[in-house]
Homo-oligomer: A and B are copies of this chain.
Amino acid sequence: MKSIVLRKMKVVRKIKRMQSIAWEAKRKGKTIGFVPTMGYLHEGHLNLVRIARKRSDLSVVSIFVNPLQFGPKEDFKEYPRDINRDKKLLEREKVDILFYPDEKEMYPDDFATYIKIERLTEGLCGRSRPGHFQGVATVVGKLFNIVMPDFAVFGQKDAQQALVIKRMVRDLNLPIKIIVAPTVREKDGLAMSSRNIYLAPNERKEATVLYHSLMMAREMIKKGERNPSLIIGKMREMIEEKNGKIDYISIVDTKELRDLDLIKGEVLIALAVYFGKTRLIDNIILKV
């Protein structure tokens, strides 16, 4: 269904316009693939974009730094933005539509509606970032109603986010498929993130320990270790040696994200660690 004619990417800034384009496409039987982002795109995002483009007739990427998902002491204002660079990257990927609304368009003054997901959002990043997942669910819920995708693509790096969104979609009966794509990493293993640019050169080097600690955990489990505390202890040692300040290291089930006493079934090993002022997250999923 791809047109051979070279089309310029359309930049849409208004909700109504985006909805009418989406509805028009759906009426014609076209499928819509969607990647919601906060911009400052890296190879991790572009990987999601390629999946969306390959599997849909109309590919839509949104860029919106969502104030709702930042805590009052977090980096909303400092969060890196470069819309012109992002546009070029998306054009190069032959994305059909960039949805790029401003804050007033998304949150009018008397905005009052929030989507919250219980249990799943209480541990891991939810514990240190209260309100974060409510902000994520609310904006993604809105974006889904605006873009009306058949499927949306999220990155495995934000493991808890992906599970929260999947639960929201199921619970609210949204007719949307959620695809979770593997984490894209730098050559030395560091998970790609827009926040990596905050890292000083020495921090950047030390931060590779996150991936190495996850690989070590995998190795321990492969060799038969089933005690989460023991594995977490070893990871903690390894990370602290590289000056990482640990927010959390958790080993949880992938359904309700509850801490495990014993490693079995499908488990998520997830961590958040500060290097200097920069908080990085990473994770792996294992089937035991």
Contact = CB atoms under 8 A, between A and B. Distances in A.
A19 B175 contact: yes
A212 interface: no
A113 B116 contact: yes
Contacts of A9: none
Contacts of A137: 113
Contact of A173 (B15, B171, B173): B15
Nearest to A20: B175
Interface residues of A, number: 34
A112 B29 CA distance: 32
Nearest to A18: B173
B29 A110 contact: no
Contacts of A256: 110
A172 B174 CA distance: 13
Contact of A113 (B112, B113, B117, B255): B117
**How many chain copies?**
2
Interface stretch (A140-148, A152-160, A227-235): A140-148
A119 B112 contact: yes
A116 B113 CA distance: 6
A137 B175 CA distance: 18
A26 B27 CA distance: 8
A50 to B, nearest CB: 27
29 contacts: A15-B173, A19-B173, A19-B175, A23-B175, A26-B27, A27-B27, A27-B29, A108-B170, A110-B256, A112-B117, A112-B118, A112-B167, A112-B171, A113-B116, A113-B117, A113-B118, A113-B137, A113-B167, A113-B172, A114-B115, A114-B116, A114-B118, A115-B115, A115-B172, A142-B173, A145-B172, A145-B173, A145-B174, A145-B175
Given A15-B173, A112-B117, A113-B118, 16 more contacts: A23-B175, A26-B27, A27-B29, A110-B255, A112-B118, A112-B119, A112-B120, A113-B117, A113-B172, A114-B117, A115-B115, A141-B172, A142-B172, A145-B173, A146-B173, A148-B175
The list of the 10 closest CB pairs from A to B, nearest first, reads A113-B171, A145-B173, A112-B118, A113-B168, A146-B173, A113-B117, A142-B173, A112-B117, A114-B116, A112-B119
